Amino acid sequence: MPINLSVNLNKVALLRNSRGGTNPSPRIAGVTCLDNGAYGLTLHWREDNRHTRADDVRVLRALCKERGAEFNLEGDGREELVALGIELAVTQFTLVPTRPGEITSDHGYDLPRQHGEIAPTIARLKAAGIRTAIFMDANPEQMAAAAATGVDRVELYTEPYAAAWGKPQLKAELERLKATAKAAVAAGLSVNAGHDLNLRNTPLVAREVPEIVEASIGHALLADALYIGLAESVKRYVRACHGEAVDAPVTC
């Protein structure tokens, strides 16, 4: 089965915020993504509003509902974020751990140590009929502990795999992803993936880790869009998520 592509539009909001206006529009970008094959849209609303804001969440949730697409809301478990996800009945809520000063997400939850921190939030979201996911490092030994939280899915942190591209450790990182995905399924979980996936490294994951059902891709897709256009970028990432080799723009 191909991986479903959910496009993270945070960087569109970041560019808009840099000038304080309304251009570029996350909604118009979202329409383009859905028109060109994206399965859904993702937003990670951080407390500092560095890119996505609450009104973006409302607007893109409405767009996805209108278009029959999935909407994935990401972030920590703070009350305003969870309450908004429940109010809007988002399709999926992905809990992602954060630490002060981080540029981007760079680690998964440490389970079972953080069980008590996230299990009540997962229960609350599931009671509202929302599919839940948690961001986890690729570690097979933690998948049983992840399942014990009551979550529906894990999103595997793929940056170590991406960083190993073209290096001797690539095989080991890919095997770690494969083993973790198998352990997750054995524990009764579905598997998502995300972070630093791009046109070069996504096809291999799609072919070698069939357990992955969804990938959230934002930074690389939108960076490529600067060179080849957003519509074409989405089309190529959809193909990559089907395991096809696709041309990647030369970016450096």
Residue 74 among the catalytic residues: yes
Residue 44 among the catalytic residues: yes
The domain in which residue 198 lies consists of 4-241
In a domain, 251, yes or no: no
Residue 101 has pLDDT above 70, yes or no: no
Q: What's the pTM?
A: 0.94
In a domain, 246, yes or no: no
- pLDDT (tens digit, 9 = 90+) per residue, 233-247? 999 999 999 999 999
pLDDT score for 105: 62
In a domain, 113, yes or no: yes
Residue 173: count of CB within 10 angstroms of its CB = 19
Residue 195 among the catalytic residues: yes
- Active site residue: 70, 74, 155, 173, which one? 74
In a domain, 252, yes or no: no
In a domain, 248, yes or no: no
In a domain, 250, yes or no: no
- Active site residue: 70, 195, 211, 214, which one? 195
pLDDT score for 108: 79
Q: What average pLDDT does the structure give for the chain?
A: 95
Residues 6+ apart with CB under 8 A from 30: 7, 9, 41, 60, 63, 64
Q: What is the DSSP string of 29-59?
A: HHHHHHHTT-SEEEEE--TT-SS--HHHHHH
The CATH number of the domain holding residue 110 is 3.20.20.70
- pLDDT (tens digit, 9 = 90+) per residue, 128-156? 999 999 999 999 999 999 999 999 999 99
- pLDDT (tens digit, 9 = 90+) per residue, 30-88? 999 999 999 999 999 988 888 899 999 999 999 999 999 999 999 998 999 999 999 99
Nearest-5° Cα angle at 95, 53 to 72: 60
- Give the DSSP H/E element, type plus range, for residue 217: strand 212-217
Query: Per the structure, how many domains does the chain have?
Result: 1
In a domain, 122, yes or no: yes
Residues 6+ apart with CB under 8 A from 201: 161, 162, 165
Cα(39)–Cα(143) distance, integer angstroms: 26
In a domain, 247, yes or no: no
